[in-house]
């Protein structure tokens, strides 16, 4: 039995998955724009609903592709004399996978987790900036005051303001992207692990795969510099 047509279909489905990922990225940035512009929270919440809809689409697509792959592997193993009803077999496996769906599945979607985490950081950063803007000169000595947010702008490696901050998903600390990747690459060549450069952090195995762009912090830094 030739599965060339099936392989071609799977390739097309994987392209669809890239469209879903792009949609989630766009929805995420729209939500960040709304928070940065201090828009109605209901508008931001509507973006969260969009993210959940995309997560549901992603789950359904993954289940369908898995059903196809499992069916093909089963046929290859069993090598039946007669050509089986491929469509029906896939339908049955897909239904079995979908029957186990729960809302918690969507909450575990990687892009949704990133969305929620960064949205929380965005709200914290820009609420803090808004509060600072409302303070009068009598309430703050601008020559000596260093806010917590401004301290967070400094990379623990370069000791300079970050331009492309990345957050470590394991310990939550942020670094300049190029600086931490250089350290990881150097230690890799030496066959050594990388300890988090943040003073006091006990995390002793920083990996490139644990780093995600910290869009919230980048926007806060850019906003501060514009002011």
Q: pTM for this structure?
A: 0.74
192-223 pLDDT, tens per residue? Answer: 999 999 999 999 999 999 999 999 899 989 88
138-175 pLDDT, tens per residue? Answer: 444 444 444 555 567 999 999 999 999 999 999 999 99
Q: How confident is the model at residue 56 (pLDDT cuts 50, 70, 90)?
A: very high
Partners of 212 in the beta sheet?
167
Please tell me the predicted confidence (pLDDT) of residue 223.
Answer: 84
- Which among 169, 191, 167 is positioned nearest to 180, based on CA atoms? 167
Phi-psi region of 64 (alpha: psi -120 to 50; beta: other; left: phi over 0): alpha
- Report which of residues 135 and 94 the model is more confident about: 94
HSE (CB half, 13 Å, CA atoms) of 167? 16
User: In the β-sheet with 174-176, what is the strand arrangement from edge to edge?
Assistant: 174-176, 165-168, 211-213
The sign of the dihedral angle between the CA atoms of 49, 55, 60, 61 is positive
**Whole-angstrom distance, CA of residue 8 vs CA of residue 24:** 25
Phi, psi for 175 (deg, rounded to 5): -145, 165
Percent of the chain predicted with pLDDT > 70: 88
- Report which of residues 179 and 86 the model is more confident about: 179
Please tell me the predicted confidence (pLDDT) of residue 143.
Answer: 43
Mean of pLDDT values over 122-133: 69
Check whether 86 has a pLDDT greater than 90: no
């Amino acid at each position: 039995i030739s599965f060339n047509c099936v392989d071609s279909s799977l390739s097309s489905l994987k392209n669809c998955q890239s469209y879903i990922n792009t949609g989630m990225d766009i929805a995420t940035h729209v939500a960040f724009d709304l928070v940065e512009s201090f828009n109605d929270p209901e508008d931001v919440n509507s973006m969260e609903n969009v993210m959940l809809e995309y997560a549901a689409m992603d789950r359904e697509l993954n289940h369908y592709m898995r059903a196809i792959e499992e069916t093909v592997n089963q046929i290859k193993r069993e090598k039946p004399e007669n050509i089986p009803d491929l469509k029906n077999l896939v339908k049955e496996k897909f239904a079995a996978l979908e029957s186990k769906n729960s809302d918690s599945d969507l909450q575990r979607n990687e892009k949704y987790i990133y969305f929620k985490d960064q949205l929380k950081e965005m709200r914290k950063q820009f609420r803090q900036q808004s509060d600072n803007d409302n303070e009068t000169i009598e309430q703050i000595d601008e020559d000596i005051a260093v806010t917590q947010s401004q301290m967070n702008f400094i990379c623990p490696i370069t000791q300079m303001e970050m331009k492309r901050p990345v957050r470590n998903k394991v310990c939550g600390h942020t670094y300049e992207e190029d600086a931490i990747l250089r350290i990881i690459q150097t230690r890799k060549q030496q066959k050594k692990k990388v300890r988090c450069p943040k003073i006091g952090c006990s995390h002793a195995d920083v990996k490139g795969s644990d780093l995600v762009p910290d869009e919230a912090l980048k926007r806060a830094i850019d906003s501060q510099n514009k002011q």
